[in-house]
Amino acid sequence: PKDIFGRLDKDGNGKIEKTVRQHDWSAGWNIAIPYSVGPANYLLLLKTSDGNLHIHPVNADGSLGGIIDDRASTSGWTGAVKYNILVFNFFLFYKQGSGRVSIRNVNANGTLGSEHADGTIEEGWTTVRHFSVGVDNFLFFSNADTGAVRVRRINIDGKIGESVDAQDWNPGWTIVE
């Protein structure tokens, strides 16, 4: 498949101004998470099917630099979210089928560091997102098939804390931003 990276027109009309770079990649890259560490920008790519993970720096013109982190993990990771607590950066990876969670430190150069925490929570979440309210950080979990929603606090140590809200919405919510 061809992936095209462009930048939006400066006039804000939503059109692609120009193609910055076009890539021919192998199929199956189904998770793409842009993130920042300090002033630098990165793109994490993950294949749920085989656990392959790549991290690229994002250049000032929007193009991708070479791979700076290339690793293989187990298959089945269906969600990934980056968050920071104070000056510490983390990536949370989630497996919908088993509820397994792995939280990894993010190094200053944008690569993944050591595992910070590992465990399980409820299985079946189709969406995982981070949000903050003031200085407090939370994880939003939803299941598009059942409508179940949970909000869990992120503790000051970067680990998943207690559930602070649980609701049942109508099924079908697939995008949460």
Residue indicated by tokens 């950080």: 137
CA distance linking residue 35 with residue 92, whole number of Å = 13
pTM: 0.86
Which residues lie closer than 8 Å to 104 by C-beta, 6 or more apart?
A: 90, 91, 93, 112, 113, 114, 115, 116
Chain segment 114-123, per-residue pLDDT in tens: 999 999 999 9
CA 131/CA 177 separation, integer angstroms: 9
Q: What is the pLDDT of residues 52-75, one digit of tens each?
A: 999 999 999 889 999 999 999 999
CA angle 117, 125, 169 (to 5 degrees): 135
